[in-house]
């Protein structure tokens, strides 16, 4: 696909790089070439607009939220229980402090 313009960036190149462009992850020279192409190609500009809206929607819906503290603690507890149920744990206290040894339990497969 090519819009027929004389610029260096083809439609395929621009559409392949639209996410890099949106995230400011391409160098200034490439960014300028993509911007020039978008300015002159309605088809790519329309596609770019859709991608831009998708990115904004994802940002609104998926960022800034953190799991509640209670959920984090329940997950840590569940993980701890799962690990300990599959291991032999030995805790010893001595003059040099506390030592913990964790060994995986051997299970027989029938």
Quick check: 62 pLDDT over 80?
no
Domain-by-domain residue ranges, the chain? 11-62, 69-104
DSSP string of 51-105, one letter each residue:
HHHHHHHHHHHHSS----HHHHHHHHHHHHHHHHHTEEEEEEEETTEEEEEEEEP
What pTM did the predictor assign? 0.45
pLDDT band at 110 (very low <50, low <70, confident <90, very high): low
Tell me the per-residue pLDDT of 13-49, one tens digit each, with 9 for 90 and over. Answer: 888 888 888 888 888 998 898 888 888 888 888 888 8
Q: Which residue has the higher pLDDT, 7 or 41?
A: 41
pLDDT for the residue numbered 27: 87
């Amino acid at each position: 696909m090519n819009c027929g313009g004389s610029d260096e960036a083809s439609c395929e190149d621009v559409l392949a790089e639209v996410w890099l462009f949106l995230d400011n992850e391409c160098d200034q020279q490439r960014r300028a070439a993509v911007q020039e192409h978008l300015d002159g190609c309605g088809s790519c500009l329309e596609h770019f607009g859709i991608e831009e809206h998708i990115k904004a929607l994802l940002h609104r819906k998926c960022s800034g939220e953190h799991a509640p503290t209670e959920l984090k603690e329940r997950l840590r507890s569940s993980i701890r229980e799962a690990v300990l149920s599959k291991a032999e744990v030995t805790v010893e206290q001595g003059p040099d402090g506390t030592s913990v040894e964790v060994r995986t339990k051997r299970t027989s497969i029938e």
